[in-house]
Structure 1
Amino acid sequence: MSSQHAIPTLLADLGGTNVRFALADTGHPSPLMMDSVRRYRVRDFETLAEAIQQYFADTGHTARAAVIAAAGRIANGETVQITNNPWAVSARNLEQKLGFGRVKLVNDFAAQGMAVPLLGTAHLTSVGPQSLPRRSDSPTQTYVVMGPGTGLGVAGLLLREGHWVVLETEGGHAGFAAHTAEDVEILHRLNARFGRVSNERMICGNGLVNLYLALADIAGQPAEQYNPEDITARAESGGDPLCVRTVETLAGIFGSVAGDLVLSLGGWNGVYLTGGVLPILLPWLQHGGFRERFEAKGRFRETMEQVPTVAVMHPEPGLLGAAALAVLDAGLPLQPATD
């Protein structure tokens, strides 16, 4: 069905550092209009409304409805205080200020999760020897969707009676569980710095710095004033063993947390890995300790060995998922990818 005369829906993927905008044609089988995507720095605007107005001014587009995927807990479907970002967003205020008929607020990883049904195999890469999940095999399926960016996002994705349902969570803020002697030493140091230590303290961009400082202290080495990009660049070049160890350690802890989430959510059909930092980490996930620690779940090891872990390689999964939500919000059926 074509909707070429319909006014599109505005999409926003709002994180701690950047906000991305695009438009959705809710009547098209591929609803995300990729040529409409623009990215802006959060720090350049006082409010989300100002950033939206700039997007409309830059592109000449307009919209009567919006789906905003935001990194934070959505309170009563109406408001969100963005995690790692000073903006507070109100759906009703955006409707009044910008003249939208409807603004839908969702957690950013609800959008990341809803992208999964629209992803074809060209945008998926296995992390480990398991085959890609076969989403058409069973009417009842459960997945974990997670990934590092400015923070650590976590969602559940459920297929029930032909309908995809996303479970919004703040699982990235769950407490870190140490699994190895080195984990215990890391935990001691991060506890001294932060008090309570969540998984997000390690599995995100700034988590690289936290791990680097902890590992330097454990090794009795002086720590440089590196940012996340410094650490990954030096790890990739192989010129700094401590940076290599830092990224390897993050990959292993990432695997442990991903496996714990499978156990917690019953995500036996697979784990979809996404997030802004994922492309940088992917080589370390594929060749490091990610799968070993993912599978190292005691009596459940044999079960975990069968659970696929998959990297999402689509350039805009958050906007793709927001487009899927816009389709459903318009009362239209979602047309999943068939390949």
Structure 2
Amino acid sequence: MPQIDPNFVFPVLIGDIGGTNARFAILVDSYAEPKEFPVLLTQDFDTIEDAIQSVVLDHTSILPRSAVIAVAGPVEGDEIPLTNCKWVVRPREMMERFNLSDITVLNDFEAQALAVVSLDDKHLENIGGEAAHPNGKRVVLGPGTGLGVAGLIRSRQTWVPVPGEGGHVDFGPRSQRDCQIFPFIEKIDGRISAEQLLCGRGLQHIYQAVCLADGITPCLNSPAEITDAALDKSNPQAVETLELFVIYLGRFAGDLALFFMAQGGVYLSGGIPQRIIPALRNGSFRAAFEDKAPHQHILKSIPVHVIVHPLAAIAGLSAYARTPARFDIHTDGRRWR
């Protein structure tokens, strides 16, 4: 059976599609930096094709010949619905409309994992731990519209991203305060998942539960309002909400570090970690991250970094498009030619 060429035909359209925002770029060749386009709101366009036409192709003379796109949700079949967005990605229809010869669709946190080994140190803010093992397993997680998780493993001189849906694992109370507020967290089919607490709406869930547990009427109505009030310390319930969010994020990140034995480090991606770096540095995050008896010594050594690159997934996908041989990505059922 003839071996299929893993390389992409340039120019390559690069896309990172989340539940709220979509980001696009065009990679002209394997040496160029990606040509970036304005970030768009998915709710402003009926389809991904309309978004690509309006935001990308109407503003450049460069016509892509192939595409590498990451989406927020599992990639299965010829119709790929997004988890927190009305768009449905249909690669065959997209190929016909834009005259593309090749489309690869990956999970959005697979793209974040690719970014972990594609970014310079200047795009990583350290939150404690020791030096990372250069070939050690890594894990990336990101609270945003949802909670994404992926791993990254070194094997036979290549990096292997391991996508998953780890944000949907069970998450339970641990402290006395948790036991007071968790009864006020809305359950889905009888359970609370990590994503219900560790994302934008998770901040709202925690804040509302804190207020209800203390008999206070909530007065803040969005994750941005809650975060602002917490950082400027203008609202006591918001301050406690952010503190709990940081602790829960540390607990969850520490669990993932143990799952993967991530001696290469744990990486926090997305807009929320970037915005709350001062809160992540106050000690509560590291304390919760390391509080995993009897393995505190293992967690103490594992470094945590916040990814501060504004378009990290685009950087990761571009690295893959330039040099596919650097990564071992199984594209069966996820690449259309």
TM-based fold match above 0.5:
yes
Counterpart of 2:30?
Answer: 27
Tell me which amino acid in the other structure corresponds to 2:266. Answer: V
CA distance in 1, matches of 2:66, 2:210: 48
Counterpart of 1:70?
Answer: 71
Deviation at 1:38, TM superposition (A): 2.3
Tell me which amino acid in the other structure corresponds to 1:71. Answer: A
Does the CA contact (< 8 Å) of 1:113 and 1:166 recur in 2? yes
DSSP 3-state at the match of 2:63: coil
Deviation at 1:149, TM superposition (A): 1.0
Residue number among 272, 276, 284 corresponding to 1:277 in the alignment: 272
DSSP 3-state at the match of 1:68: strand
* Stretch deviating more after TM superposition (176-185 or 293-302): 176-185
CA distance in 1, matches of 2:29, 2:260: 30
DSSP 3-state at the match of 1:223: coil
Counterpart of 2:21?
Answer: 18
Does the CA contact (< 8 Å) of 1:26 and 1:323 recur in 2? no
Alignment gaps of 5+ in structure 1: 1-5, 335-339
Does the CA contact (< 8 Å) of 1:178 and 1:184 recur in 2? yes
DSSP 3-state at the match of 1:267: coil
Tell me which amino acid in the other structure corresponds to 2:39. Answer: R
TM-score, with length taken from structure 2: 0.89
Deviation at 1:178, TM superposition (A): 2.5
Residue number among 177, 187, 193 corresponding to 1:198 in the alignment: 193
Counterpart of 1:163?
Answer: 158
Deviations 1:242-295 (A, max 9, x none): 111111110000000001111222223210111122211221111141111110
Deviation at 1:121, TM superposition (A): 1.0
Deviation at 1:215, TM superposition (A): 0.7
DSSP 3-state at the match of 1:257: helix
Deviations 1:97-128 (A, max 9, x none): 22111111000000000011111111111112
Does the CA contact (< 8 Å) of 1:295 and 1:301 recur in 2? yes
Does the CA contact (< 8 Å) of 2:172 and 2:192 recur in 1? no
DSSP 3-state at the match of 2:257: helix
Counterpart of 1:133?
Answer: 132
Counterpart of 2:286?
Answer: 291
Counterpart of 2:250?
Answer: 255
CA distance in 2, matches of 1:65, 1:192: 42
Matched, 1:97 2:65: no
Aligned positions of 1:105-116 closer than 5 A: 105-116=105-116
Change (3 A) 1:164 1:318: same
DSSP 3-state at the match of 1:38: coil
Residue number among 214, 222, 228 corresponding to 1:219 in the alignment: 214
Tell me which amino acid in the other structure corresponds to 1:310. Answer: H
TM-score, with length taken from structure 1: 0.89
Does the CA contact (< 8 Å) of 1:157 and 1:167 recur in 2? yes
CA distance in 2, matches of 1:53, 1:45: 10
Residue number among 158, 171, 175 corresponding to 1:176 in the alignment: 171
Tell me which amino acid in the other structure corresponds to 1:103. Answer: I
* Stretch deviating more after TM superposition (96-105 or 175-184): 175-184
CA distance in 2, matches of 1:280, 1:245: 17
Change (3 A) 1:319 1:14: same
Deviations 1:181-203 (A, max 9, x none): 22233332224577321111111
* Stretch deviating more after TM superposition (84-93 or 239-248): 84-93
Change (3 A) 1:160 1:231: same
* Stretch deviating more after TM superposition (173-182 or 183-192): 183-192
Deviation at 1:165, TM superposition (A): 0.5
Tell me which amino acid in the other structure corresponds to 1:299. Answer: P
CA distance in 1, matches of 2:29, 2:275: 32
Does the CA contact (< 8 Å) of 1:149 and 1:275 recur in 2? yes
DSSP 3-state at the match of 2:103: strand
Tell me which amino acid in the other structure corresponds to 1:49. Answer: E
Counterpart of 2:319?
Answer: 324
CA distance in 1, matches of 2:113, 2:287: 25
Counterpart of 1:56?
Answer: 57
Does the CA contact (< 8 Å) of 1:26 and 1:326 recur in 2? no
Tell me which amino acid in the other structure corresponds to 1:301. Answer: Q
- Identity percentage of aligned residues: 34
Tell me which amino acid in the other structure corresponds to 1:211. Answer: I
Deviations 1:208-231 (A, max 9, x none): 111000111112211114201111
Does the CA contact (< 8 Å) of 1:79 and 1:88 recur in 2? yes
Does the CA contact (< 8 Å) of 2:130 and 2:301 recur in 1? no
Tell me which amino acid in the other structure corresponds to 1:50. Answer: D
How many residue pairs align between the two structures?
Answer: 318
Tell me which amino acid in the other structure corresponds to 1:111. Answer: A
Does the CA contact (< 8 Å) of 2:158 and 2:326 recur in 1? no
